[in-house]
Structure 1
């Protein structure tokens, strides 16, 4: 399996870590974890618990973009050694993004989000140069 594919696995695992952290923070804030209506409970969260919940939701959303970018590069024949760097950059940006979201570092959150998008675009640009 290529490094970029491993990065997809890491991104998925990171989302589950965020879910665990979010669950713990929710329990700290509300005294319980409502497994019957978790989305309804999430709407009532504030502070760090709400931000971790939002970071997790964003991480699931961007995972699709990243995974598609990796597959596009792979199917276009981009060598694994070349697709690794933007994939690593994406993972680093997601770690920083979640930290920035959790600790309410709003301007930096946007900057590192854009870095992650740039990494996805970099993979697609490499695919375009290999397939055309």
Structure 2
């Protein structure tokens, strides 16, 4: 498996870890986790708990875009060693994004989100240039 594909797997694991953290924080802050209506309960959350949940939701969206870019690069024949650097850049940008989201560092969150978009664009550019 290539480094880019490993990056997808790592991001999925991180997002499930965020789901666990978000659920634990929800139970800690509200006293229970509403398994019957978790989305309703989510809308009522505030502060750090809400930001953890929001970063997880954004993570699923970002993973999809990144995975598509990785597959396009792979199917276009971009060598694994070339796609590794933008893949690693995306993983680092997502880790920083999560931290910026949780700790309410909005301007930095936008910057690192943009860095992730650049990494995806880099993968696409490499696919076009092959």
Same fold (TM over 0.5): yes
Instruction: Supply the distance in 2 between the matched residues of 1:71 and 1:110 (Cα, whole angstroms).
Output: 25
Q: Give the C-alpha shift of residue 29 in structure 1.
A: 1.0
Matched residue, 2:45: 45
What TM-score comes out, normalization by structure 1 length? Answer: 0.97
Q: Within 5 Å, which residues of 2 pair with 1:71-82?
A: 71-82=71-82
Q: Within 5 Å, which residues of 2 pair with 1:78-89?
A: 78-89=78-89
Instruction: Supply the distance in 2 between the matched residues of 1:60 and 1:49 (Cα, whole angstroms).
Output: 17
Residue deviations 1:79-110, cap 9 Å, x none? 00000000000000000000000000010000
Q: Give the C-alpha shift of residue 24 in structure 1.
A: 1.0
Matched residue, 2:20: 20
Root mean square deviation of aligned Cα? 0.5
Runs of 4+ in structure 1 off by over 6 angstroms are: none
What TM-score comes out, normalization by structure 2 length? Answer: 0.99
Partner of 2:84, secondary structure, is helix
Q: How many residues align?
A: 130
Q: Within 5 Å, which residues of 2 pair with 1:90-105?
A: 90-105=90-105
Partner of 1:10, secondary structure, is helix
Q: Within 5 Å, which residues of 2 pair with 1:49-60?
A: 49-60=49-60
Q: Give the C-alpha shift of residue 23 in structure 1.
A: 0.6
Q: Is the aligned partner of 1:64 residue 2:68?
A: no
Structure 1, unaligned runs of 5 or more: none
Matched residue, 1:30: 30
Matched residue, 1:110: 110
